[in-house]
Amino acid sequence: MKTQSRNIKAGLLIALSATAFSMPVAAQIKIGVINSLSGNFAAFGERYNAGLQFALEEINANGGINGEKLEIISQDDRSDAQSALSALESLNKQNVPLVIGSYASGITGPMSKVATRQKIPLIVLGSADNSITKPGSPWVFRAKHNSSIVAKAYLDYFDNLRDKHGLKKIAIMHGNGAWPTSVSEEGEKLAKERGYEVIGRQAYDQGTTDFRPILNKFRSGNPDILLTSSYADDGIAIARQLKEVGLATKVVAIDTASSMSSYIDQVGKQSENIVSAVSWSPDVKYEGNPEFYKAIKEKIKGEPSFYEAEGYLALKVAADALKRAKSTDREAVREALANTDLKTPVTNVVFKNYDGFQGQNPIKSVIVQIQDGKHVTVFPTELASKEARVSNE
């Protein structure tokens, strides 16, 4: 373990001092990245891009791919599925050995089907909808979490608080996109299996700004837990309107939206104690994480989120497979990906086929909570830096 920690630390130091320590690299190996650099998801795409670029510098500073420089051919999907498919067609014509992409599940889902037909190895960048890897295909790989993993993380967290705080009833609301719907359906299923009373599950159209009718309806059922799955603007409005309608639950989970540092700035004190499930957090107790956090924070000149970490992770997985494949032949790369066993400061990656999933990393999601104006890891307990707090007690 000490040797592994030294290796991780050394890699990060090399990435920050590429001029002094980089090894000579020769020709170039080009891979494709399809990312949302414009449109509705551009704010997330920019963060993924920052993580990808940080990983790219680290990889090339450490000798690239078996002495060859790694290069990214970046394509903007414009936050649109059809644009993503056009980008994939372009990359296919350029004969790239693999593609990484994209953010939204509604984009990556169709892309994964075309990649499978064209036999192009695809590493999922940010999408978490179950259907992408369930049933999946031999050509699609996801190192980050999926809907089932996230829903289980929430319910495990609720269970951990259940007896001490008397958690019995849960209300669920979500946007009608692929990801919010998927995690909410899984959440409802698990909640019922574990004996919670689900007082309601309510979907809303993306673009909705007034959530008070839903929240007022829930208030009459007096839930102990509110579980929502939303994007950034939705989560801000929900937090503000919770107080307006007087819905006072012991636990509030606002998935995805509340995990950003900007969320705390926008919502203020009303963000306190809200939780979200993420694939990585700055204080999570993974080996090598303190060095990684410090290095990437310095690189992007700001507070990193799990989006940068997932971008970094995706490219590290790609580079590892390319090194082991020792070829840019797509079948060789696909086989190398299938045999991945990689340790990183973000998480460990082993692609498995289980419970109907294919090419899925059984990653542990962690729960972060906003405490005193800062995100802290509160669950699982072995990875936590702080104890969880419960509201209205």
Whether 310 and 327 map to the same domain: the answer is yes
Report d(CA 41, CA 177) in Å as an integer.
13
Whether 137 and 12 map to the same domain: the answer is yes
Whether 197 and 345 map to the same domain: the answer is no
Mean pLDDT, the chain, whole residue set: 92
Per-residue pLDDT at 3 exceeds 70:
no
- What integer pLDDT is reported at residue 233 of this predicted model? 81
Report d(CA 92, CA 330) in Å as an integer.
11
Q: How far apart are the first and last CA of the chain?
A: 42
Q: Which of 378, 365, 383 is nearest to 285 (CA)?
A: 383
- What integer pLDDT is reported at residue 4 of this predicted model? 45
Sign for the pseudo-dihedral over CA of 334, 338, 342, 344: positive
Per-residue pLDDT at 13 exceeds 70:
no
Report d(CA 141, CA 297) in Å as an integer.
27
Is residue 243 domain-resident? yes
User: Based on the structure, what is the number of domains in the chain?
Assistant: 2
Whether 140 and 22 map to the same domain: the answer is yes
Per-residue pLDDT at 63 exceeds 80:
yes
Whether 103 and 159 map to the same domain: the answer is no
Whether 349 and 211 map to the same domain: the answer is no
Whether 288 and 140 map to the same domain: the answer is yes
Per-residue pLDDT at 7 exceeds 60:
no
12: helix, coil or strand? Answer: helix
Is residue 62 domain-resident? yes
Is residue 273 domain-resident? yes
- What integer pLDDT is reported at residue 11 of this predicted model? 53
Helix runs in the chain, H state only: 2-16, 18-21, 42-61, 81-93, 105-118, 147-165, 178-193, 212-219, 232-245, 261-267, 289-300, 306-325, 330-338
- Please classify residue 172 by burial: count the beta carbons closer than 10 Å to its beta carbon, then call 0-12 exposed, 13-18 middle and 19+ buried: buried
For residues 40-46, average pLDDT: 92
Whether 156 and 219 map to the same domain: the answer is yes
Q: Which of 313, 316, 236 is nearest to 270 (CA)?
A: 236
Per-residue pLDDT at 177 exceeds 90:
no
- Domain interval for residue 356: 2-145+283-360
For residues 172-181, average pLDDT: 90
Find the range with the poorest average confidence among 124-128, 144-148, 228-232, 389-393: 228-232
Long-range contacts of 86-92 (CB under 8 A, 24+ apart): 87/32, 87/34, 88/32, 88/34, 88/114, 88/115, 88/118, 88/120, 89/114, 91/32, 91/34, 91/120, 92/118, 92/120
What residues are paired with 202 via a beta bridge?
173
Is residue 390 domain-resident? no
Whether 247 and 372 map to the same domain: the answer is yes
- pLDDT (tens digit, 9 = 90+) per residue, 271-295? 999 999 999 999 988 889 999 999 9
Is residue 393 domain-resident? no
- What integer pLDDT is reported at residue 27 of this predicted model? 64
Is residue 388 domain-resident? no
Is residue 114 domain-resident? yes
Question: Domain holding 87: CATH number?
Answer: 3.40.50.2300
- What integer pLDDT is reported at residue 232 of this predicted model? 72
Whether 115 and 45 map to the same domain: the answer is yes
Per-residue pLDDT at 10 exceeds 70:
no
Whether 29 and 114 map to the same domain: the answer is yes
Q: Going by DSSP bridges, is the β-strand pair 69-76/275-278 parallel, antiparallel, or unpaired?
A: unpaired
- What integer pLDDT is reported at residue 231 of this predicted model? 73
- What integer pLDDT is reported at residue 244 of this predicted model? 94
200 pLDDT band, cuts 50/70/90, is: very high
Whether 152 and 106 map to the same domain: the answer is no
For residues 303-316, average pLDDT: 96
Is residue 119 domain-resident? yes
- pLDDT (tens digit, 9 = 90+) per residue, 69-102? 999 999 999 999 999 999 999 999 999 999 999 9
Per-residue pLDDT at 20 exceeds 50:
no
CB count, 10 Å around CB of 134? Answer: 17
